[in-house]
Amino acid sequence: MSILDQQRIAVIVPCYNEALTIAAIVRDFQACLPQAPVYVFDNNSSDATVAVAEAAGAIVRRVPLQGKGNVVRRMFADVEADIYIMVDGDATYDASVAPQLAEKLLREGLDMVVGSRVTEEQAAYRFGHRFGNRLLTGCVGLVFGNTFGDMLSGYRLFSRRYAKSFAAHSAGFETETELTVHALELRMPVAEVPTVYKARPEGSVSKLNTYRDGARILLMILKLFKNEKPLHFYALGSAVFMALALVLAAPLLQTYLATGLVPRLPTAVLCTGIGLFSVLLLCCGLILDTVTKGRIEQKRFVYLSLPAPGQS
């Protein structure tokens, strides 16, 4: 008996207007993992995605709130499994490696395995997307420590304890950033495995807007930086304002030491206000850092309350 036969595996597919590709996704994963049900979570598709998915044998659920992040929240909440295989519904990822990725997750006791994209097809992974991915991945690595080479991959495997401890605040494509930071924040065991990435079939159109969604992901990184590392965030702001106050105060101090007078009283008041604001920011960071550590501990308690992969 295979190690996978002892596990409840679910393939979960967030989907929006993928009538041309969803049947191939369902068939490919059914062929590779016949014991795993394929769930298609449709996000208000206006084409025949739902009918095609049902005809292919998928279990279809509808998510009325628009956005991939909203879909991921529903998938983790509604589906009960030991291993979750999440894949985009555009038929660009290789289903045949799913069993090997699942076995890696189980044998090594991992909580997330990311299928990093490897392709020679220019149309599959355009330069703009490739550059933006590297830039945003680098930003996350700078803020949260060592991260993945392909943070925005839509092909991921999760343990049950990962899925049930994930809060899922984001609404759109920035959910991949949040998925990565969640694992880094709780210091989960994770891995990244190169997987083949193909171009979309002819007639299938990407829903990703390079600049708009890239800006949203960057804003999500800043938001996570503020929420998850408030001491660093507010201390940085405090340092900036304190430096500004000192720069403005330097000429005043020189004049005072030379003459004993403070001729520019409004500037002195401004420097005092900026300095007080700097101290206030630092105090906010210290207080919120304590709150954040308590919140992280609560998430870790939820995470630890569930069995490790392969031990359920």
pLDDT at 308: 84
Query: Domain locations in the chain?
Result: 3-227, 230-302
pLDDT over 60 (residue 1)? no
How does pLDDT run across 168-187, given as a tens digit for each residue? 888 877 888 899 989 988 99
C-alpha to C-alpha distance for 235 and 116, rounded to whole angstroms: 35
Which residues lie closer than 8 Å to 223 by C-beta, 6 or more apart? none
The pLDDT of 12-19, averaged and rounded, is 93
Q: Which tokens sit at 184?
A: 């880094």
- Name 87's bridge partners: 155
Q: Is the dihedral of CA 105, 107, 110, 116 positive or negative?
A: negative
HEC sequence for 99-152 = HHHHHHHHHCCCCEEEEEEECCCCCCCCHHHHHHHHHHHHHHHHHHCCCCCCCC
d(CA 152, CA 260): 60
End-to-end CA distance of the chain: 17
pTM for the whole thing? 0.83
The pLDDT tens digits of the residues spanning 39-63 come to 999 999 999 999 999 999 999 999 9
**CA-atom Rg of the chain in angstroms:** 24
Please tell me the predicted confidence (pLDDT) of residue 207.
64
Q: Do residues 21 and 40 make contact, with C-beta atoms less than 8 angstroms apart?
A: no
Going by pLDDT thresholds of 50, 70 and 90, the confidence category of residue 35 is very high
Protein fold of 3-227:
Spore Coat Polysaccharide Biosynthesis Protein SpsA; Chain A (3.90.550)
Read off the pLDDT of residues 59-105 as tens digits, 9 standing for 90 and up: 999 999 999 999 999 999 999 999 999 999 888 899 999 999 999 99
Alpha-carbon gap, residue 289 to 100, rounded angstroms: 40
Backbone region of residue 243 per phi and psi (left: phi > 0; alpha: psi in -120 to 50; beta: other values): alpha
Instruction: Please tell me the predicted confidence (pLDDT) of residue 122.
Output: 54
Q: Phi/psi zone of residue 231: left (φ > 0), alpha (ψ -120 to 50 degrees), beta?
A: alpha
